[in-house]
Amino acid sequence: MSNNSLLKIHTIKWSFPDLIELPLKLILYFVLLNHLTKEDFGILNLGLLVFSYHGLAQFGVTDWIMLELPKKFVSKKFKEMDILVKNSLGLTLFNLTILGFVFLFISFFILDSSLIFFVFTVFVFQSIFYEYYLHFILLLRFKYILNDILYVKLIFFISKFIISYIALVYYGFLFYLFCEAFIFLLPILLMRFYRKVRLFPEISNYFNLIKKGVPFFLISLLNIIVGHADRWVVIALLSIENFASYSLVLYIATAILIFPSKFLSIFGQYIKEYFETSKEIKEYLKNIFMFSTSILSVLIIFLILVKYILPIIIANYLLIYIEILDLISPMLCLILLRFTIALINLFLNLEMKQKLLIKSQLIYLLVYVIALPTTGLLFGYELKYLLWTVNFVLFIQMCVAYYLYLIDKPIWAWKKIIIPNIFSLFFFISMLVNIQFMTSLHIILILLLIVIYNVLPFTHSFIRNFY
């Protein structure tokens, strides 16, 4: 089978389950919004915020093996791939069990709300089962056993939707939470008994693995500190109802980023293998820059469409959250900036430049520490100003990250990467000042950009030159 066909098949198999999951998630989220009070919805998102910290228990090891697995695959060292995943799983579960117990023990004594403590307990348990599920997926994904992933994910996503919907609508919020605690047992059992995939955690070479993961852990830690600071400000200084509205905006942003992130993930895996087997740096750089231009162009067009469609949906179906209409423009900028930064971080990781990533995050943290209290003093901690502050800091981080990535690249590479970012900046400004003719002009310019860079011919060119 040709490389062209393989890339298409792998991309479809990897992304198709998410095509099914996204509408199911949106429906369930809509049901949650309509069945829960703002306070309960805010508490639920507080639990999800706690869940988002589970990755720290990996101590960077999972991120490290994600760069090592393509090397092992290219070298056909499949047993070593199994060992890496087992060790990562064992280390993560060990850390997560201890940290989760300590967190719940402290929470029990300091929290006044029994509901919040129950929600925290639910998501601590969920994180343990999720890590097992995640490592199953990693093992199969990097071995390109995508059929198993496809079947298991499809069954899981559909079953999860049915279970969650029935639990919430017919049995209430508490039973829904109980189901959430153990929901990831379903794909684990499917992997183990239906697809006959064996994966048992091991804790050998614990400290050696920790050493390997330190650079990635520092990056993740900085990401979480700066990425969640605005949410904790909302929780601490505003109200749980404000946090519910803020969380809805962030959820919409996350939902929009699902498909671009999946495509970025599979592209990163392929380009890493290309980077390992070929030393043609010029061809490698051309591929990633053309990819950047193409995917950013498509994303920006989609975001402009969202700008006009989303207010209609909110005004007709989510009147209780009508205040988030003021947050749509900064949310769209947030999506673009986060994805662009993820793109640069991918390239830095591919070239094993984690030290530059840490520098980028430290600068981001410094700017954030200055910008956040400055916003509070000048404008107060309103949701709109908080979101624009996050955008400002992300924009600074994007500029710094691009500079750090391009600092050792030839002049022609600077030209290739600057062009799409001029359009990104133009989009950012058009959202900031909210001038309609700028947005319309921007659509025309982006369409021209896509024509100039020949998105479809690029795809075939990339596949032809892949190996």
Q: H or E element: which one contains 78?
A: helix 78-110
Tell whether the model's pLDDT for residue 228 goes beyond 90: no
- 318 phi/psi in degrees, rounded to 5: -135, 55
Cα 112 to the chain's mean position, in Å? 32
Residue 209 backbone dihedrals phi, psi, to 5 degrees: -65, -40
Residue 114 has pLDDT above 60, yes or no: yes
Tokens 């306070």 -> residue: 39
Alpha carbon 40 to its chain's center: 25
C-alpha–C-alpha distance, residues 199 and 140, integer Å: 11
Q: What is the mean pLDDT of residues 260-277?
A: 66
pLDDT of residue 458: 42
pLDDT grade, residue 276 (50/70/90)? low
Per-residue b/e over 25-44, b at no fewer than 16 CB within 10 Å?
A: beebeeebbeebebebbbbb
Per-domain boundaries in the chain = 14-204, 214-467
Question: Given this model, what pLDDT does residue 281 score?
Answer: 64
Question: Quick one: which of 261, 343, 6, 44 has its CA closest to 144?
Answer: 6
The yes-or-no verdict on residue 33 having pLDDT over 90 is: no
Q: Indicate the average pLDDT of the chain.
A: 77
CB 335 within 8 A of CB 256: yes
Tens-digit pLDDT profile for residues 232-267: 888 888 888 888 888 888 888 888 887 777 777 766
Q: What confidence category does residue 410 fall into, taking pLDDT thresholds of 50, 70 and 90?
A: low
Given this model, what pLDDT does residue 279 score? 57
Helix, strand and coil percent figures for the chain, each rounded to 5: 90, 0, 10
Query: Which residues of 140-199 form beta strands (DSSP E)?
Result: none
Tell me the range of 119-133, 319-333, 380-394 where mean pLDDT is highest.
Answer: 119-133
pLDDT at 462: 42
Residues sharing a CB contact under 8 Å with residue 89, sequence separation 6 or more, in sequence order: 131, 132, 135, 199, 201, 202
Q: How confident is the model at residue 162 (pLDDT cuts 50, 70, 90)?
A: very high
Q: Given pLDDT bands bounded at 50, 70 and 90, which one contains residue 433?
A: low
Contacts of 429 (CB under 8 A, 6+ apart): 438
Confidence of residue 280 (pLDDT cuts 50, 70, 90): low
How far, in Å, CA of 407 to CA of 394, rounded? 20
Q: Which two tokens stand for residue 158?
A: 């559909």
Inform me whether the pLDDT recorded for 437 exceeds 70: no
Question: Whats the size of the chain, residue-wise?
Answer: 467
pLDDT at 428: 60
- Determine the Cα–Cα distance for residues 324 and 248; give it in Å rounded to an integer: 8
